[in-house]
Structure 1
Amino acid sequence: MSRIYVLHENNEWTDYLKDRLEELGLPYELWHLDEGKLDLTSTPPEGVFYNRISASSHTRDHRYAPEFTEAVLAWLERHGRTVINGIRALRLEVSKVNQYMALNQAGIDTPKTIAAVGKNRIVEAAEDLEMDSFITKHNRAGKGQGVQLFHSIEALKGYVEGDGFEEPVDGITLIQQYIKSPEPYIIRHEFVGGKFLYGVKVDTSEGFELCPADACSIEDMYCPTNGEQQKPKAKFEILQDYHPPFIDQYERFLEENDIQVAGIEAIQDEDGNVYAYDVNTNTNYNSDAETEADIYGMLELAKYLGSHLEKIQA
């Protein structure tokens, strides 16, 4: 029987999708691809294959999950199976350089960025950037890996030459223009089936860890005010009646790169210019924000996967 196959490497991030698939009565199977074997002469089962492999897999000791997944996706695509977020999506997921080049090709602005390999080259890249403030980040990252804000070359040298330097898993460090927003937030634009679902405002005042999944969320903290317990402002807030003009451009970008499910993070500077700086094809959703707005990403995703399964069964 045809079913939905979920390719992943993180059980915690898959639980909510499992719940929604079961809620809709859809048959599914999970393929955990942190390791395994693949007979290239075999034929894949019939079904819908949804790729949820993350760029941050190496932080969970799943160093080669993306590479093995690409082999599996090549096998599936060679046999003409229905693949959601295939090889092209995976290659963008694990490389911000690939992301920025594809975004720029689609006419979407990204922060000025220089890629560097080698500690001395990182410092040289920052000098070439010629900006008072800049950030470093890993090319293959996730979870805010390697993201540091600097206001001088000397501060960068201290970081690069010190014990706290984080070596990127692929060796590539990005030195990037720091976009100063008038308010401390970014907006993450969620897409299912290549179509805009909603925008979520993410508070960045506590740093660059912006993962919306419940497993990533910081526990709610309460502080006394006049003898009462008050909950702090939500870190994630789904925006109502939000549909900026560049959404059409984002949707075209996804279509051109064969990406069906994604979150695109963007920031606006003090002059109103909007820059996209991250494309997450392993997108997650925050349950508190969704409950407040009464819209549910995983439910829409499960329905979308189910619609493809119906086509195959028909």
Structure 2
Amino acid sequence: MTDLAILYEHPQWFAPLFAALDRRGVDYTAFGADGHWNPADSAIPAPVVLNRIAMSSFLRADEHPIFHTIALLDHWRRSGARVVNGPDVMAIDASKARQLALIASLGLAIPETRIVHRAADVEAAAATLAFPLVVKANIGGSGAGIMRFDNMAELRWAVNEGELPKSVDGVLLVQDYVPARGGEITRIETLDRQYLYAIDIAGGGAFDLCPADACVADSNISMRAAEPSSDLVDAAERIAAAMNLDVGGVEVMIDDRDGLPRFYDINALSNFVAQPLNVLGWDPHERLIDWLDTLIAETR
């Protein structure tokens, strides 16, 4: 048995992580969630399991592994594995509605939002908000499943024609469109519930802001290292602690209308920023591996 098992789905995002693990001589194995497993078999693939299944996996395969992985990680955890970003974390990662409810419960501002599970309820939900607004899929990823509407006529047409976004769990968010100050959002990355680094990202219209290499190769997204205020860092750490997030990013934008920071997304898949040495001046994979080494040592 190896010391570390990595469950992943995207074919390119984790090449930098695997390369860093190889340089450090970590004993690991990496594999996808396809195939089958036996719920009566208590064998685990490694004492420490790192979950790297992306919510955007449904964009790459109709038979996506999201819900399958939540059950599998829960099984491995019950069998004794230390699962990094385990099933409880993944269940919140797989629900923007749950993310927003968690954030709001901490007294932090979010975009004004209504949650529905029927297209027939979208118009009534929108009537409680102002235009422009957006309709989002509850399970998204890389900006998937987001549409902006500038008036009720546009929205009503989309409802009647079946043109609303589709979420693989059937849940939709009807949400105030927040004009992000400077067209930027800030992604605050955390490790073991503590601040790791932050980047400002622009060019995605707050719809498609994935910082991984594979996402930005053919896009107009730009990013730079950021130094968020202590209040924003504290808020991100509180969110990570409340979610029990081992490693992941919290996204916030400054509402240009009133200057209020509005937290709107938690991403448990930290594939880290593209070209970290150029953007940050250091490689966060090294810090992640340091922490994984600590977890591995604790299991021995």
Q: Same fold (TM over 0.5)?
A: yes
**Structure 1, unpaired ranges of 5+:** 222-233
1:12-91 correspondence runs (5 A): 12-61=12-61, 63-91=63-91
Greater displacement, 205-214 / 159-168: 159-168
Task: Please state if 1:246 is matched with 2:232.
Answer: yes
1:157-196 correspondence runs (5 A): 157-162=156-161, 164-196=163-195
| Change over 3 Å in CA distance of 1:249–1:286 after alignment to 2 | closer
**Shift of residue 244, structure 1, vs aligned partner:** 2.9
Residue matched to 1:143: 142
**Shift of residue 310, structure 1, vs aligned partner:** 2.2
Q: Deviations over 1:221-243 (max 9, x none)?
A: 8xxxxxxxxxxxx701112x444
| Change over 3 Å in CA distance of 1:205–1:105 after alignment to 2 | closer
Q: Secondary structure at the match of 1:287?
A: coil
1:226-305 correspondence runs (5 A): 235-239=222-226, 241-270=227-256, 271-288=258-275, 290-305=277-292
CA distance in 2, matches of 1:260, 1:64: 23
Q: Which amino acid aligns with 1:98?
A: R
Q: Deviations over 1:15-35 (max 9, x none)?
A: 121111111110111131144
CA distance in 1, matches of 2:242, 2:99: 12
CA distance in 1, matches of 2:79, 2:39: 13
Q: Which amino acid aligns with 1:75?
A: H
Residue matched to 1:225: none
Bigger relative contact order (CA 8 A; separation at least 6): 1
**Shift of residue 210, structure 1, vs aligned partner:** 0.7
Q: Deviations over 1:12-71 (max 9, x none)?
A: 122121111111110111131144223423332442111111211111116341222122
| Change over 3 Å in CA distance of 1:203–1:290 after alignment to 2 | farther
CA distance in 1, matches of 2:209, 2:290: 26
Q: What is the RMSD of the two structures over their aligned residues, measured on CA atoms?
A: 2.1
| Change over 3 Å in CA distance of 1:220–1:272 after alignment to 2 | closer
| Change over 3 Å in CA distance of 1:25–1:181 after alignment to 2 | same
| Change over 3 Å in CA distance of 1:37–1:108 after alignment to 2 | same
Residue matched to 1:227: none
**Shift of residue 286, structure 1, vs aligned partner:** 2.5
Q: Secondary structure at the match of 1:215?
A: helix
Q: Which has the larger radius of gyration?
A: 1
- Is contact 1:2–1:309 with CA below 8 Å preserved after alignment? no
- Is contact 2:185–2:202 with CA below 8 Å preserved after alignment? yes
**Structure 2, unpaired ranges of 5+:** none
CA distance in 1, matches of 2:63, 2:277: 32
Q: Which amino acid aligns with 2:103?
A: L
Work out the number of aligned pairs and report it.
299
Q: Which amino acid aligns with 1:92?
A: I
Q: Secondary structure at the match of 1:51?
A: strand
Q: Percent identity?
A: 26
- Is contact 1:35–1:68 with CA below 8 Å preserved after alignment? no
